[in-house]
Every structure is written in C-alpha cells, then in structure tokens.
Amino acid sequence: MKFLLILSVVAAAALARPEDLYDDSKTNLDVDELVANDRLLKGYASCFLNKGPCTPEGNNIKKFIPDAVENSCQKCTPKLRVLVRKMSNGIKTKLPKEWKDLEALYDPEGKHSSKVDAFLAQTD
C-alpha cells in the first residue's frame, strides 16, 4: 500500500515538472499598475499585435501567447496565470478594439474562445 502511495506521488511530481512551465524569471511586472495605466496597457497590446515596440517583459510574454491561448495557460506558473489573466481582462475591458485584433491574430478561427473566456473568468 505504501508503495502505491509513493508511486502516485512520484508520478504526480513527474507530470508537473517545473521545466515544463514557462520561465517567469524575466517577467517582473506590477500588473495592477500596468492595467491602471492606459498608455502602458496600450503599449503592451501593440507589442502583442506586432504593431509597436516591446519591452523585455512584453517579448517574454509574447513568446507563449499562442500556446497559452490553445491550452488555457496550462504551462504558466501561478505568477504568470495571474499576470496573463489580469492583463488580458484589462485589455478586453479597456481596449476592446485591440482585444478583437488579438483574438483575430492568435485565434483567427475562434476555436479557443470559450476556453480563453473560461480561463479569464477564473480566480486563483
């Protein structure tokens, strides 16, 4: 019985290996401040849309957007989940045109919109 318990714990640990998660060490944003500042938020939206310059943090986030859209940010660390959720909800609320453009760029067929909406509605 103990062997099965230990085997289960080892299997669970193997499935959730930290190396499978996105690296959040280069993403040190105060997301609440970012969302409160319309100019900064618009700058990040432009970065994600390939229409403007990107900060190092913006480039880091932009790398995993396609996979995050397809898989509801499953490879995101808890820190990145909160950041992505708050930033996305900020763009969706304050910059609806940019949000539509992001949807068209990263999910042109709308295949993942229900998963994205469910992810954005979660609270961690």
**CA–CA dist 71, 115 (Å, integer):** 8
Domain spans in the chain, listed from the N-terminal domain onward: 29-121
pLDDT, one tens digit for every residue, the chain (124 residues): 544 334 344 444 444 455 688 877 767 889 999 999 999 999 999 999 999 999 998 998 898 899 889 998 899 899 889 999 999 999 999 999 999 999 999 999 999 999 999 999 988 6
**Distances from the Cα of 35 to the Cα of 40, 46, 47, 85, 104, angstroms:** 8, 14, 15, 11, 22
Segment 117-123 long-range contacts (CB within 8 Å, at least 24 positions apart): 118/72, 119/72, 119/73, 119/85, 120/85, 120/88, 120/89, 120/92, 122/85
Fold (CATH) for 29-121: Antennal chemosensory protein a6 (1.10.2080)
